[in-house]
A and B are shown apart, each in its own frame.
Chain A
Amino acid sequence: MAKRVLVVDDSKTMRDMVSFTLKREGYETVEAEDGMDALQSSTVGNFDLVISDVNMPRMDGITLTKELRTKPQFRSTPILILTTEADGTKKAAGKAAGATGWIVKPFDPDQLLGVVKRVCR
Chain B
Amino acid sequence: MSDFEQFRQTFFEECDELLQRFEEVAGNLQPDENDNETLNELFRAVHSIKAGAGAFKLERLVTFAHELEDFLDQVRSGTIHLQTGDPDLIVQSGDILHTLIEYAQAREEAPENLEADVLEQVRQRNPKGGQFSEVQSAEKPRQSGKIKYTVKFRPHRELYEAANEPQLLLEALTDLGETEIEIDTSRIVELSKTDPMESYFDWIITLETESGIEDIEAIFEFVDGDCDLSIIPDETIAEETDDGEVLTSQNPIEVSTTPQNQNDKADGEKAKPSKGSIRVDLERVDQLVNMVGELVIAQAMALESISSEIGIEQINQLQALEDLTMRTRQLQEGVMAIRMQPIKALFSRYPRLVRDLSKKLDKNVNLILEGEATEVDKTIIEELADPLTHMIRNCMDHGIEMPADRVGMGKPEEGTVRLSAEQRNGRILIRVSDDGRGLDPDKVVAKAVKQGLIQEGEELSKEEIEMLIFRPGFSTASEVSDVSGRGVGMDVVRRNIQKLGGRITLESQKGKGSCFTLALPLTLAVLDGMLVATADERYVIPLSSIVETVCPAANQIKEMPDGGSVLSLRGNAIRLIDLCGCMGLSRKGLTEPLRKLAVIVETEFGRHVGIVVDELLGQQQVVIKSLETNYYRIPGVAGSAILGDGRVRLILDVDGLSALLPKSPISKSKTVSEIPAENEIQTIASGG
Contacts and interface: CB of A to CB of B under 8 A. Distances in A.
A41 interface: no
A42 interface: no
Query: What bracket does the count of chain A residues touching chain B fall in?
Result: 35 or more
Contacts of B262: 92-93, 96
B3 A20 contact: yes
A67 B511 CA distance: 63
B165 A60 contact: no
A46 interface: no
Interface in A1-53: 10-14, 16-17, 20, 33, 36-37, 53
Given A62-B264, A95-B260, A36 B274 contact: yes
B7 A84 contact: no
Given A16-B6, A106-B51, A86 B164 contact: no
B167 A121 contact: yes
A21 B50 CA distance: 20
A57 B163 contact: no
B164 A100 contact: yes
Q: Per DSSP, are chain B's interface residues mostly helix, strand or loop, or mixed?
A: helix
B222 A102 contact: yes
Interface stretch (B265-273, B307-315, B321-329, B393-401): B265-273
A99 to B, nearest CB: 6
Interface string A63-74: 100100000000
Contact of B55 (A56, A79, A96, A106): A106
Given A13-B11, A16-B10, A20-B7, A89 B261 contact: yes
A55 B43 contact: yes
Query: What bracket does the count of chain B residues touching chain A fall in?
Result: 35 or more
A79 B222 CA distance: 11
Contacts of B225: 95
B35 to A, nearest CB: 16
A60 B267 contact: yes
Contacts of B203: none
Contact of B51 (A11, A57, A78, A96): A11
Contacts of B162: 79, 95, 98-100
Given A62-B264, A105-B55, A100 B222 contact: yes
Given A11-B14, A16-B10, A93-B264, A119 B222 contact: yes
Nearest to B13: A12
Given A11-B14, A13-B55, A96 B269 contact: no
A13 B274 contact: no
A119 B266 contact: no
Interface string B166-189: 011100100000000000000000
Contact of B168 (A36, A105, A118): A118
Nearest to B135: A86
Contacts, number: 133
Nearest to B51: A105
B264 A118 contact: no
A88 B263 CA distance: 10
Given A14-B55, A55-B267, A95-B162, A85 B135 contact: yes
Contacts of A84: 47, 50-51, 54, 69
B263 A79 contact: no
A87 B359 CA distance: 39
B54 A105 contact: yes
A94 to B, nearest CB: 8
Contacts of B7: 13, 16-17, 20
B273 to A, nearest CB: 9
B136 to A, nearest CB: 12
B197 to A, nearest CB: 10
A53 B50 CA distance: 13
B52 A118 contact: no
Contacts of B52: 11, 13-14
Nearest to A49: B163
A56 B47 CA distance: 10
Contact of A58 (B47, B165, B272): B272
Tell which of B259, B264, B279 has the most Cβ of chain A within 10 Å. Answer: B264
B168 A97 contact: no
B222 A57 contact: no
Contacts of A100: 162-164, 222
A14 to B, nearest CB: 6
27 contacts: A11-B51, A13-B11, A20-B3, A37-B274, A53-B51, A55-B267, A57-B272, A62-B264, A84-B54, A85-B66, A89-B261, A91-B260, A92-B263, A96-B262, A96-B263, A96-B264, A97-B264, A98-B161, A100-B163, A101-B164, A101-B221, A117-B168, A118-B222, A119-B165, A119-B168, A119-B222, A121-B168
Given A13-B10, A62-B264, A86-B135, 16 more contacts: A10-B44, A11-B52, A14-B48, A20-B7, A57-B44, A58-B271, A60-B269, A88-B260, A95-B259, A96-B263, A98-B162, A101-B221, A106-B51, A106-B55, A118-B219, A119-B168
The 7 closest A-B CB pairs, nearest first, are A106-B54, A101-B222, A93-B264, A92-B260, A96-B262, A13-B11, A13-B52
Interface of A: 10-14, 16-17, 20, 33, 36-37, 53, 55-60, 62-63, 66, 75-79, 82, 84-86, 88-89, 91-102, 105-107, 117-121
